[in-house]
Amino acid sequence: NSLVKITLSKKKDKSSDLKNIFVKPIEVKAGLRLCFVYRYNTKDITKNYEIDEATDKIISYLENDFSQANVFTTTQEYSLMINKKNRCKIISKKTTSEKDVELTHDKNKRKFVDIENNIYLREL
C-alpha cells in the first residue's frame, strides 16, 4: 500500500488565490521527499519537503485552509471531509485499477517537432 498522490481541496477562505495543493512522493538526490504543487489561479509553485515536515504541513493545511483531502494509494482511495462544525468523515474504497507509484522528479518534455534532421530549423 504505497502513496500515489494527496489532493487538498475545498478551501475554507474563498478569497485566497490558492486553489488546491497536490502532494506526491518523489526521489531526489537527498532521498525520498514529498513534492507539493501549490495551484493558484494563475501559477503553480512546486516545493519539496522531508516526510516529517510535509506531514506537519498537511495537518496544518487541513486545520486552517482546506476542508477536504483525497489520498490515493496503490490499492485504496480515501476521502477526508471536514464540515463547518469540524466533524470529520472518512470514506474509503478500493481503487478501480492498480496504480504505479511514479517517484521520478524530472520528466522528459514532449516535443511536437522532431528537431533532428530538420533543415528549416538550422537555417533559422
Tens digit of pLDDT for each residue in 56-78?
999 999 999 999 999 999 889 99
C-alpha cell at 63: 486545520
- CA atoms 53, 58, 62, 65: torsion sign: positive
Give 2 or 21, the one with higher predicted confidence: 21
pTM of the model: 0.76
CA atoms in the 13 A half-sphere facing the CB of 29 = 0
Which residue is associated with the grid cell 528537431? 115
End-to-end CA distance of the chain: 52
Q: Is the pLDDT of residue 47 over 90?
A: yes
* Mean pLDDT in residue range 16-45: 92
pLDDT of residue 20: 95
Tens digit of pLDDT for each residue in 100-120?
666 665 566 666 666 666 666
